[in-house]
């Protein structure tokens, strides 16, 4: 019988990994020792006791890993789910892939959580962090940008200087290490590679490539930390290095698993954009002039393609729009403009066919052109059909200020994801604080194709009834009425004042964010309220949160990006206001097609899909309020449908068991008592 030791082991770990034939119960006493009072992981997860949920969750995951089975595991806020899955994964040995919701969580796992568990177990486990290629500095593209000097702003010139210095000092090339250059600075696009423009083994810097180094380290490591975007990008595109990792992995853990359906849908579909066409034109012009100046009139070759791409965008005059194909009038200019773009792109590829042999970079441009040509050709459509026959996909367009995207989105990701899970037996763990609707996991299971796989739930250790109040105010108009946002703000202001600031206002639309910011700036000044205002879009998310925490009495207004993955503990956040139930927009083309299919199957699209989705999002927003056992606060849920609609009961029964009130006076009194405490 072979013991499953970590491949990198050069010493005996605290517990040698069990073989599948051995009962998982051998872990139970070790889990109890690690998480118990005085255990090595006690201080790491806090002194709050009893933390039985964490211990029981760790045992259940240990069993799933030992038996190479699947487990859907919901753990309430404060359970300590990260340690609950890391302990059994590291005890078992072998290769583990942990996929998280965001790059920030990746960094937290890699830099803090895994080292803490590894030290507690005294296990010689090697760990690697793997991100998408856009996170790593590219030697070739940095050199080309330094030579071309195509900077559009003074900031970018300074940033490029910083990046050039960074190249000489960094071992990883990870842009997260260079805090002086903002993550969203446009210069990063010029000094990182994409799947399209990477030179691969032909690159002169291949041996020093940070992307290749990161992938090599990941192949050799016992534990690899990735994020969902990277995982599914690889499954769809075979480009992130995970394809090489999966065969040898015996455990796959998805943290923040509630995000998987949306992320998988994004990558199992296909998107072609006018921006991709324009980027290709930019590179064709640069490489043509550099390597085959006499081969063609490159300016003329790319100009006609650029014009066709821009003309296609202009067939929709709106700044922002999402339409399924049946919603586009057959007489629309869109259809002939799309054909023109295909024709002009064909012409540019014909020129590249003749000149590509003169330089590797020109051949690469030709390959990119051929791929775009194929994807545009595959974007076939029947304007009368909502769903493409035989495709099980929805065709739709999305217009932004300066680009147009053509999407092909699968109606269901379940069959595709199931295909990925077939083959080598291994354990799949799906965990999050929000996977169930009133202890019912069917919505998540059906989306992911997990069928009857076992699911378990562990409650939060927090005493919600003592720590918080759910306040649903009276007197609000219909949420779709014109003055609704102002009515919410009128009711919110006295509560914010009573709380002393310390507020998140979570909105369902950017329009509401903008209106709230205008009103609050005006009202705070008029009333002499000393609350710093932080508004999504004014600065980066991380910077806004840092400043909000430091202020101690701030008011932060945000939309979707602040509903989850945000942890503000202590007194700085005492009030979370949610303006509306987070229902998906009714005009969403993919949602509309999915609901139509459900209703043809005799299901109620709203109850079966729209409502569960909104409840899971709402649970995420509500989860911002109580983050540890000492937090106290109020969740102000402003949507009157929670009370007036028959489905309202299902909504608030899925939320933490706060005390409930509809009286503003009760909330004001709560804050008076809270603020008077020493």
Q: Where are the domains of the chain?
A: 137-192, 271-410, 464-675
pLDDT for the residue 237? 59
Which residues, 6+ apart, have CB-to-CB distance to 364 below 8 Å?
Answer: 197, 199
**In this structure, what are the phi and psi dihedrals at residue 230, rounded to the nearest 5 degrees?**
-65, -45
User: For residues 354 and 295, is the Cβ–Cβ distance under 8 A?
Assistant: yes
Which among 632, 629, 627 is positioned nearest to 670, based on CA atoms? 632
Nearest to 226 by CA among 139, 107, 403: 107
DSSP 110: I
- For residue 97, the cross-strand partners are 224, 252
* Chosen CATH of 271-410 out of 1.20.120, 3.40.30, 1.10.3470, 3.40.50: 1.20.120
Question: What pLDDT does 275 receive?
Answer: 92
pTM metric for this prediction: 0.84
For tokens 């997860």, name the residue. Answer: 45
- Token pair of 332, please? 């629309």
Cα separation of 170 and 253, whole Å?
A: 30
Report the chain's C-alpha Rg in angstroms.
27
Structure tokens at 130: 């793997």
Q: Homologous superfamily of 464-675 in CATH?
A: P-loop containing nucleotide triphosphate hydrolases (3.40.50.300)
Q: Are 572 and 520 in contact (CB under 8 A)?
A: no
pLDDT tens-digit readout, 578-633: 999 999 887 788 888 888 888 888 999 899 999 999 999 999 989 999 888 889 99
Retrieve residue 99's tokens: 């996929």
Residues in Cβ contact with 428 at an 8 Å cutoff, skipping those fewer than 6 apart: 70, 71, 252, 254, 421
pLDDT at position 239 is 54
Give the pairing of strands 96-100 and 223-227.
parallel
Residue tagged 């999305």 (tokens):
398
Q: Say which residue the tokens 């994807």 belong to.
A: 375
Q: Which stretches in the chain have pLDDT values below 70? A: 1-28, 36-51, 149-152, 235-243, 381-391, 678
User: Residue 319: what pLDDT?
Assistant: 78
Whether 409 and 393 have beta carbons less than 8 Å apart is answered as yes
Alpha helices (H) along 537-663: 541-551, 589-600, 605, 611-622, 641-644, 648-653
């Amino acid at each position: 019988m072979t013991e499953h030791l970590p491949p990198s082991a050069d010493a005996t770990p605290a517990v040698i990994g069990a073989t599948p034939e051995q009962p998982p119960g051998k872990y139970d006493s070790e889990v109890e020792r690690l998480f118990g009072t005085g255990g090595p992981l006690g201080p790491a997860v806090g002194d709050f006791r009893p933390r039985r949920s964490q211990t029981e969750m760790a045992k259940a995951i240990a069993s799933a890993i030992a038996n190479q089975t699947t487990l859907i595991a919901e753990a309430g806020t404060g359970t300590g789910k990260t340690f609950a899955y890391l302990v059994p994964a590291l005890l078992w040995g072998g290769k583990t892939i942990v996929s998280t919701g965001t790059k920030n969580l990746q960094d937290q796992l890699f830099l803090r959580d895994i080292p803490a568990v590894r030290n507690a177990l005294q296990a010689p486990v090697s760990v690697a962090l793997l991100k998408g290629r856009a996170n790593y500095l590219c030697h070739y593209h940095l050199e080309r940008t330094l030579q071309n000097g195509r900077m559009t702003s003074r900031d970018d010139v300074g940033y490029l200087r910083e990046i050039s210095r960074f190249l000489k000092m960094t071992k990883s090339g990870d842009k997260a290490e260079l805090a002086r250059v903002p993550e969203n600075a446009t210069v990063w696009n010029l000094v990182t590679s994409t799947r399209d423009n990477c030179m691969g083994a032909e690159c002169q810097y291949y041996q020093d490539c940070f992307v290749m180094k990161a992938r090599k380290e990941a192949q050799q490591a016992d534990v690899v930390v990735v994020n969902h975007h990277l995982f599914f990008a690889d499954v769809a595109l075979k480009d992130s290095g995970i394809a090489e990792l999966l065969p040898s992995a015996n455990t796959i853990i998805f943290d923040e698993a509630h995000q998987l359906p949306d992320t998988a849908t994004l990558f199992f579909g296909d998107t072609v954009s006018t921006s991709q066409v324009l980027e290709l034109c930019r590179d064709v012009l640069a490489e043509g002039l550099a390597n085959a100046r006499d081969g063609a009139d490159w300016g003329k070759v790319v100009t006609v393609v650029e014009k066709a791409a821009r003309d296609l965008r202009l067939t929709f005059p709106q700044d922002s729009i999402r339409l399924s194909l049946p919603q586009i009038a057959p007489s629309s200019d869109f259809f002939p403009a799309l054909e023109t773009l295909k024709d002009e792109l064909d012409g540019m590829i014909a020129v590249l066919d003749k000149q590509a042999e003169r330089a590797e970079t020109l051949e690469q441009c030709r390959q990119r052109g051929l791929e775009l040509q194929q994807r545009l050709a595959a974007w076939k459509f029947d304007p009368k059909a909502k769903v493409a026959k035989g495709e099980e996909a929805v065709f739709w367009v999305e217009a932004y200020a300066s680009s147009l995207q053509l999407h092909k989105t699968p109606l269901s990701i379940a069959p595709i994801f199931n295909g990925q899970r077939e083959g080598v037996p291994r354990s799949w763990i799906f965990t999050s604080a929000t996977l169930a609707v009133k202890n019912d996991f069917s919505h998540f299971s059906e989306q992911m194709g997990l069928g009857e796989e076992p699911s378990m739930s562990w409650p939060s250790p927090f005493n919600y009834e003592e720590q918080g109040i759910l306040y649903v105010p009276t007197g609000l108009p219909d949420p779709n009425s014109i003055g609704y946002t102002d009515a919410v703000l009128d009711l919110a202001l006295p509560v914010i004042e009573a709380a002393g600031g310390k507020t998140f206002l979570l909105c369902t639309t950017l329009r509401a964010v903008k209106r709230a910011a205008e009103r609050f700036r005006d009202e705070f000044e008029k009333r002499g309220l000393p609350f710093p205002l932080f508004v999504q879009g004014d600065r980066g998310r991380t910077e806004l949160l840092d400043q909000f925490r430091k202020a101690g009495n701030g008011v932060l207004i945000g939309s979707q990006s602040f509903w989850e993955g945000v942890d503000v503990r202590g007194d700085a956040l005492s009030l979370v206001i949610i303006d509306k139930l987070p229902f998906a927009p009714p005009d969403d083309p993919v949602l509309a097609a999915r609901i139509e299919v459900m209703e043809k199957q005799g299901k109620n699209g709203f109850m079966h899909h729209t409502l569960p989705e909104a409840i899971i999002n709402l649970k995420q927003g509500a989860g911002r309020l109580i983050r540890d056992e000492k937090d106290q606060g109020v969740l102000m849920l402003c949507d009157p449908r929670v009370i007036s609609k028959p489905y309202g009961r299902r909504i608030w029964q899925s939320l933490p068991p706060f005390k409930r009130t509809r009286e503003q006076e009760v909330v004001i009194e709560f804050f008076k008592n809270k603020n008077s405490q020493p």
